[in-house]
């Protein structure tokens, strides 16, 4: 799937091995693993099939967004945009929204 980033810091975090944006090494490692999984996926059904991701549709003020587990505390927040060429994943952020 094609990936877009809501902020330049998120894009840099995905691409620049030396950039931490203040996150721990464990969170950054999981973030990059999730970005690779998103890149390799055909569509979001792939994420539902991988139970370890804890991929879920969010509710309330986060309606239209989805989350993927990075660790027990942090979640990767995503949105999907439909384009003629297919769906695009928009990486919104890394958050502890609980």
**Are 95 and 85 contacting, i.e. CB atoms less than 8 angstroms apart?**
no
Please give the domain boundaries of the chain with CATH numbers for all domains. Answer: 3-96 (3.30.2310.20)
> pTM value?
0.91
Tokens describing residue 91? 């990486």
Task: Answer yes or no: is pLDDT of 98 > 70.
Answer: no
Whole-number pLDDT of residue 12: 96
What is the average per-residue pLDDT within 75-92? 93
Counting Cα atoms < 13 Å in the Cβ hemisphere of 75 gives 15
Whole-number pLDDT of residue 97: 62
pLDDT tens track for 19-76: 999 999 999 999 999 999 999 998 889 999 999 899 999 999 999 999 999 999 999 9
């Amino acid at each position: 799937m094609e990936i877009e980033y809501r902020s330049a810091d998120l894009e840099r975090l995905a691409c620049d091995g030396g950039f931490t944006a203040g996150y721990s090494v464990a969170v950054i490692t999981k973030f990059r693993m999730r970005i690779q999984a998103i890149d390799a996926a055909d569509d979001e059904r792939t994420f539902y099939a991988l139970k370890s991701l804890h991929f879920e549709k969010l509710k309330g003020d986060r309606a239209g967004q989805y989350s993927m587990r990075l660790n027990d505390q942090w979640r990767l927040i995503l949105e999907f945009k439909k384009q003629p060429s297919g769906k695009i994943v928009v990486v919104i952020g890394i958050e502890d929204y609980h």
